Structure 1
């Protein structure tokens, strides 16, 4: 029973431990913040997705890049890329993205941030709602 409870609370406990470690040592814990790339078919779709995520305060910042050419094995097409800067969250983030994305299988790729400006990373932390 205790093991099940610990497993269920793991994301919350991990976040709490990272915050305590960072506060006590004043250092950054690599991988706590991330950058997320999402491809969209149009700029309007990208804006709608970005707005939806920002309204829920799941990201600190959203950048929308204009049309880019994507080459796959069987085709070449245009896409708009969204870059989200966020703190690693539970499945809430992915569920929120999938709910508003028009593709059945959206390209959603996350990269952990190993290091960066401490002031900016702190700003990201303050900007994102704790879940």
Structure 2
């Protein structure tokens, strides 16, 4: 058997599309009913998919975080039905949003006197 040699081939160049960036780890970090302490990140997001509600702050990159200790509660406000809100309640059985005719609860079972 004789050996056959074909035309030499240039080595393959690198393609232009073969790269990707790592995922950004976005999404909900604390779910409804979970206990949080001040500073805990609740949602990492791009833009405001979720809006900050009671006792929740928002960072410059739209990260939502707890301002007070309590339990996470996701809800929709009847005044703004297209927006989804995230709030912190102090007791697990409490609900959001708080009706306008009721005073806002504060830490240590105090009541907001300006609402009376």
TM-score by length of 1: 0.25
Q: Which has the larger radius of gyration?
A: 2
Q: Greater helix share, 1 or 2? A: 1
